[in-house]
Structure 1
Amino acid sequence: MGKEALNIFRQCLPVLQTLSDAHRQDILLLLSENGSLTVNEITERMTLSRPAISHHLKQLKNAGVVQVEQQGTQRYYSLSLEKSVLLLKQLLTTLERDCL
């Protein structure tokens, strides 16, 4: 693997590690199907506790795949995949070019 590919791969690690969890995958699927949801709305649709959902949302937000919008007293979570998808595409392009 070339230095450029390795550098991009390292940049992708937070996203890849975050997406490796099945509960976080379920949350992403739920947000993709329903748009913006609050923690309570997500909790109602899943079997996890509210604190567990909050923890997973924090991980997703830190990885840059979910964004939060404050509306009054409510915080709405929605997908924000553009940057992550572009980075992963860049990784694939570099791997194809340098490693295949």
Structure 2
Amino acid sequence: MEENFILEKKKFIENYNLARPIMTILGDEVRQEILLTLIETGGTGGIRVGEIQKRSHVSRSAVSHHLKILLNAGIINMRREGTKNYYYIDFDDSTVKPVILFWQQVEPMLKRCIKERESRG
């Protein structure tokens, strides 16, 4: 096996391990629905829990619970105006970047693994 391929594969696995915790968090269907709601309302300066609840058809307490998980993971952000909290996605300040990087590398790595396997057999 080529040394270069071994290093590429090692880096790919490292990137996967960085992305894995975020992918696990994003694997929950309720959190996916909340993220979709945040994306659909993007650019509005954020959205409040009640509005997320209306749009996502998830109970208010469930929305709050899942927002806390998304916040703690650094996937979304929150800004406060007085007593009101507004939730939003800021890709410049998000832990989702390792997931994006990982998925950008999947197809090239898959092709490289196929090529390596074919060259051996």
Question: Which TM-score bucket, shorter chain as reference?
Answer: 0.7 to 0.9
Question: What is the TM-score of this pair, normalised by structure 1?
Answer: 0.80
Match of 2:101 among 76, 81, 90: 90
Name the counterpart of 1:28: 35
Name the counterpart of 2:117: none
Aligned AA (2:57)? T
State how many pairs are aligned: 100
Structure 1: where are the runs of 5+ without partners? none
Name the counterpart of 1:45: 55
**Retained in 2: the 8 A contact 1:68–1:75?**
yes
Question: What is the TM-score of this pair, normalised by structure 2?
Answer: 0.68
Aligned AA (2:102)? L
Matched, 1:3 2:13: no
**C-alpha deviation, 1:76, in angstroms:** 0.4
Structure 2: where are the runs of 5+ without partners? 1-5, 113-121
Q: Which structure has the greater CA radius of gyration?
A: 2
Describe the SS at the equivalent of 1:45. Answer: helix
Change (3 A) 1:51 1:85: closer
Name the counterpart of 1:14: 21
- The separation in 2 between residues aligned to 1:26 and 1:15, in whole angstroms, is 16
Segment of structure 1 superposing worse, 41-50 or 22-31 = 41-50
